Amino acid sequence: MPQDRMPTIRDIAERAGVATSTVSRALANPQRVNARTREKIERIAAQLNYVPSTQARGLSSGRTGAIAVLVPDVTNPFYFDIIRGTQNQLKAAGYTQLLVDTEEATDVELEALRRLRRTADGIILAASRLTDQQLADAAARQPLVTINRATADAPTVLIDTPGAMVQALEHLDSLGHRKVTYVGGPTSSWSTHRRWNALQEAASRRGMEISKIGPYTPKTSSGAAAADSALRTGATAFIAFNDLIAIGMLQRFRERGVRVPEDVSIVGCDDIFGADFCNPPLTTIASPIEQAGRTAVSMLLAQLDPLRGGTPRKLAVMPTHLEIRSSTGPAPGH
């Protein structure tokens, strides 16, 4: 692999008969240099197939040109969409995306944050497992935007799932379900508490009976246990923390011969890839996940150079809606 020394601005400078500083300016600051000189330099650069060293540039400028995206689990389709959103927007802005999987673990998250302090210009933190204090510390050290984890210390993108939870409850109510169970996500997840609170309140307002089981890991494989446990609550409808769990439950119900939606109804959350083609297709809370990723990037970039970005928003709330498919139906005996 004979990768001969890469050309530097110095090589260009020599061939062009100018100083390196002129080359640097010609490339980064075109109007600072005479058009003829610039063209000459550009020509030589192209000819040498010159690529500036991000490293060296970063050293003097203090920026790395990279933004890190931290997600709890890269394989969770929910985060795919986030990543797709950030990827798009970052590329458009000329940034590189560093993808980090924090394995749903606080310490991994903290360690990543620490290392990245020098490696990335900013961080997008999806569904952080950190405490308020830890988040505040992190935000004080580096530009940060959180997704689905509100904090006073950093701009946040929230997907308004709780809002649609209420819709889901109404939907179930109108189908005659009086007793509903919420299938909770990981205890460390801020979202699951938020959703449960919204549900509780809405249920009591409508005089519906609601209970909670869990916590469950947000994977389809948790669905079996969740399904069994859910059945024991005696509820006729279940609202799952997310689609992964809901899909897992669907599979388990099928195994056990419990018919959906004839015997029980089930509502998922997120409308991830697969929610529309599982069996039966899942009624779920659809969220503009990808857009959340894009918005997070915008908010972060605005924070990075406040000059251009206008007033940086501190909070963006993404609208959601209930996507009714076939996993919900009339309560038995209705």
Partner DNA sequence: CAAACTTTGGCAATCGCTTGCCAGCATGTT
Partner DNA sequence: AACATGCTGGCAAGCGATTGCCAAAGTTTG
Q: Which is nearer to a second copy, 119 or 187 (CB)?
A: 119
Q: Which is nearer to a second copy, 52 or 332 (CB)?
A: 52
Tell me if 2 contacts DNA by CB under 7 A: no
CA angle 197, 199, 205 (to 5 degrees): 105
What is the signed CA dihedral for 307, 310, 312, 317, rounded to 10 degrees?
Answer: -150
Q: How far is the CB of 55 from DNA (least distance, A)?
A: 7
DSSP, collapsed to helix, strand or coil, labels residue 209 as strand
Q: Which is nearer to DNA, 57 or 178 (CB)?
A: 57
Tell me if 119 contacts a second copy by CB under 8 A: yes
Residue 141 interacts with which of a second copy, DNA, none, CB < 5 to 8 Å by class:
a second copy
Cα distance between residue 70 and residue 86, in whole Å: 11
Tell me if 284 contacts a second copy by CB under 8 A: no
Q: How far is the CB of 196 from DNA (least distance, A)?
A: 45
Q: Which of 48, 52, 163, 212 binds DNA (CB under 7 A)?
A: 52
Quickly list DSSP for 138-197: HHHHS-EEEES---TTS-EEEE-HHHHHHHHHHHHHHTT--EEEEE---TT-HHHHHHHH
Contact 274, 289 (CB under 8 A): no
Q: Which residues pair with 265 in a beta bridge?
A: 237
Q: Exposed, middle or buried: residue 272 (CB in 10 Å: 0-12, 13-18, 19+)?
A: buried
Q: How far is the CB of 205 from DNA (least distance, A)?
A: 56
Looking at residues 10 to 39 of the shown chain, list those that interact with DNA (rule: CB under 7 A): 10, 17-22, 24-25, 27-29, 31-38
Q: Which is nearer to DNA, 49 or 133 (CB)?
A: 49
Residue 221 interacts with which of DNA, a second copy, none, CB < 5 to 8 Å by class:
none
Residue with tokens 């709330």: 317
Residues lying near a second copy in the complex (CB under 8 A): 1-3, 6, 49, 51-56, 58-59, 64, 66, 74-75, 77, 80-81, 83-84, 87-88, 91, 96-101, 114-115, 117-119, 139-143, 220, 247, 250-251, 273-274, 277-280, 303
